[in-house]
Amino acid sequence: MGELRPVTGPLPATRGSFPHARVAGDLVHVSGTSARRADDTIEGATVTADGTVRLDAGVQSEAVLGNVERVLAEVGLDRTDLVDVTAFLVDIEDFDAWNAAWTGFFDGNEAPARTTVGVSALPHPHLLVEVKATARLRNRG
């Protein structure tokens, strides 16, 4: 059975009784990860002086990918160890912003398999993007 790998770094605690990642055999399964910061605010979500909420899917996409890499770092991995990523977009019209963040994140490196799914909502109304991922542990021998 895999062992739980709690993340203690710059990410906020999960909003449920599950870890940021779980190791099972030679795979690391990263739980759904968003653009939430350690202080529980959301990257890419700003409120103007008049109370208008502005959401930026590109900024959130970059932050989500960065947060996934922070989780991977807790088990000694990085983006090059990813083998599969599923992205959930509240508005599929944000696909271009998501794709641009993805392309920048991998910057010419071989990217993992990927699926992008449009969903009706995420756990917070300011969240536009969530990602779950699977990575492979490096040879420890």
- pLDDT averaged per 10 residues in sequence order, the chain, 141 residues: 55 78 90 92 96 98 97 93 98 98 92 98 97 89 46
Q: What are the start-end ranges of the E strands in 12-103?
A: 21-24, 27-33, 45-47, 53-55, 82-89
Number of domains in the chain: 1
Q: What is the pTM of this model?
A: 0.90
pLDDT at 128: 99
CATH of the domain at 131: 3.30.1330.40
Indicate whether 141 belongs to any domain. no
Distance, in Å, from the CA atom of 85 to the CA atom of 72, rounded to the nearest integer, reads 13
Indicate whether 35 belongs to any domain. yes
Q: In terms of residue numbers, what domain contains 30?
A: 3-136
pLDDT at 38: 85
Nearest to 90 by CA among 63, 116, 64, 59: 116
